[in-house]
């Protein structure tokens, strides 16, 4: 993943955020957050280096009966194909931040968005690895007698909880999530400032980026820039 970090850092130090940005970079806040995230990630990684591979005795003494009943079934399921597919999804998700370069509205804010991404990644990664190295929960595959013994030894099999694939992939995909600001109104709640609110909301969405959407919704009333309930439902389904 080194190329992703370098990509973020290149834009961080060599790009200038555009004007009228809906994002704000405050180094008094973002600097400490970024520093804490980097420190947490480095510290938790160093903790992994103090752990040893599993031994044959440790593997032999493991008993699936000691696992909570609702988790025990995981020890009976093992698929190298599923593991490979999970890795493919995890690493391919790393390209999601690059999608912010496509729309012009977010491209000019890539410095700020890049810092947000680094903060999110390092804090999430640090907390994930810290939890793994503290809890030291053995992966289900180690309990499975059908799994080859040589696949059970690596120390990474001590780091089952919680899932790094899930937490880090979530961070990547949040960059492509839709953010919807929905203002619902009964027809009787229309007033003189509704039109101004619609213009303000739509302006916010246009400046914020392609993943940001604003909807003012009435039951049946028609207002320029607002939507009737049925039309809003249809648009939301398409998103």
Q: What is the per-residue pLDDT for 150?
A: 93
pLDDT confidence band for 6 (50 / 70 / 90): very low
What's this model's pTM, rounded to 2 decimal places? 0.64
- Contacts for 65 with CB less than 8 Å, ≥ 6 apart: 72
> Which is more confidently placed, 215 or 193?
215
Q: What is the per-residue pLDDT for 1?
A: 44
The position carrying tokens 């729309």 is 103
Mean confidence (pLDDT) of the chain: 81
pLDDT at residue 197 greater than cutoff 80: yes
pLDDT at residue 142 greater than cutoff 70: yes
| Percent of the chain clearing pLDDT 90 (strictly above) | 31
Q: What is the per-residue pLDDT for 5?
A: 42
Q: What is the per-residue pLDDT for 10?
A: 41
Mean pLDDT of 78-94: 77
pLDDT confidence band for 46 (50 / 70 / 90): very high
Q: Is 8 exposed, middle or buried (0-12, 13-18, 19+ CB in 10 A)?
A: buried
pLDDT at residue 128 greater than cutoff 90: yes
Query: Each residue of 152-194: pLDDT tens digit?
Result: 999 999 999 988 888 887 887 776 677 888 888 776 666 667 8
Mean pLDDT of 22-39: 89
């Amino acid at each position: 993943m080194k190329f992703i970090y370098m990509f973020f850092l290149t834009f961080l130090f060599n790009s200038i955020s555009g004007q009228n940005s809906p994002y704000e970079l405050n180094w008094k806040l973002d600097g400490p957050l970024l520093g804490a995230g980097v420190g947490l990630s480095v510290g938790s990684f160093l903790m992994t280096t103090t752990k040893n591979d599993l031994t044959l005795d440790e593997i032999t003494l493991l008993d699936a009966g000691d696992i909570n009943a609702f988790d025990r079934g995981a020890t009976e399921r093992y698929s190298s194909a599923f593991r490979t597919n999970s890795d493919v999804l995890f690493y391919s998700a790393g390209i999601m931040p690059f999608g912010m370069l496509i729309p012009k509205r977010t491209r000019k804010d890539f410095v700020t968005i890049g810092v947000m991404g680094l903060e999110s990644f390092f804090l999430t990664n640090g907390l994930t690895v810290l939890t793994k190295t503290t809890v030291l929960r053995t992966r289900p595959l180690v309990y499975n007698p059908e799994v080859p013994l040589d696949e059970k030894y690596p120390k990474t099999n001590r780091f089952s909880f919680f899932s790094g694939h899930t937490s880090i992939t979530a961070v990547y995909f949040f960059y492509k999530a839709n953010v919807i600001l929905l203002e619902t109104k009964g027809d009787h709640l229309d007033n003189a400032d509704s039109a101004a609110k619609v213009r303000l909301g739509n302006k916010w969405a246009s400046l914020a980026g392609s993943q940001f959407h604003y909807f003012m919704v009435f039951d049946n009333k028609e207002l320029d820039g607002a939507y009737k309930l049925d039309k809003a439902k249809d648009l939301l389904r398409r998103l």
